Structure 1
């Protein structure tokens, strides 16, 4: 049995767009991970954040941008900032709960 042929049709633009996105993403991944790693200070966290970024883009409709590689690097920087902000919020909340003694002393 022969594999089905990919023909130009209504979904072909989407397939070509996804293939282009995947190619650009994979070529930019090392730079994105390095950028995020420098900002968050952990290579494992950086890899996780970049993977989350990939899933976000993969699940939503393709957006046309002029330079996809540059756009992905900017998004990687933004996801690192978002992570640091959420970590800072979590730390402040934990400090607040630890600083307040229980009213009944328990």
Structure 2
């Protein structure tokens, strides 16, 4: 019964929806969606006026479609002036930041070079390679307290060196 109604009213249904949404292809899709939804509803409960129910379902789908499109257009505009692009934050650091970071890295490298070799090696194993104190101690054949003390001393030395340079 629904299939016969849909086939006999399909053209009118599509034209009604097309007037609402302004696109015949979208209207075809919405008419098909209305058929599927009405078919599902018919299988769960009796519908007194099937034609009215079909057209109302199609109208509701068209209104929902128009709301989604209006929201999409509001947030997805293709028109952006060049000044707006200039206000978008860059993921790249500024040239000034790159220069300052390079200077800080050079200062840190200089501070590392002044550390005793074991302390520098332990600090790099811990901070760069992510090794824990027990693992470093086992690898180097020293106690965990030695690893702790070397890291503490190396960090304090680097911090002092960086603070002295920043104060200039």
Q: 2:51 aligns with which of 69, 75, 82?
A: 69
TM norm structure 2: 0.44
Could you tell me which runs of 5 or more consecutive residues in structure 1 were left unpaired when the two chains were aligned: 1-19
Between the two proteins, the alignment pairs up a number of residues equal to 85
Return the structure number with greater helix share. Answer: 2
Contact 2:14 2:27 in 1 (8 A): yes
Structure 1 CA distance, aligned partners of 2:37 and 2:60? 13
Q: Which runs of 5+ in 2 are unaligned?
A: 93-168
User: Post-superposition shift, 1:34?
Assistant: 0.9
Query: Greater relative contact order: 1 or 2 (C-alpha under 8 angstroms, separation 6 or more)?
Result: 1
Q: Distance in 1 between matches of 2:29 and 2:7?
A: 15
TM-score (norm 1): 0.66
CA 1:43/1:27 → structure 2, altered by over 3 Å: closer, same or farther? same
Task: Please tell me whether Structure 1 or Structure 2 has the larger radius of gyration of its CA atoms.
Answer: 2
Structure 1 segments, 4+ long, off by >6 Å, are none
Q: Which residue of 2 is the match for residue 25 of structure 1?
A: 6
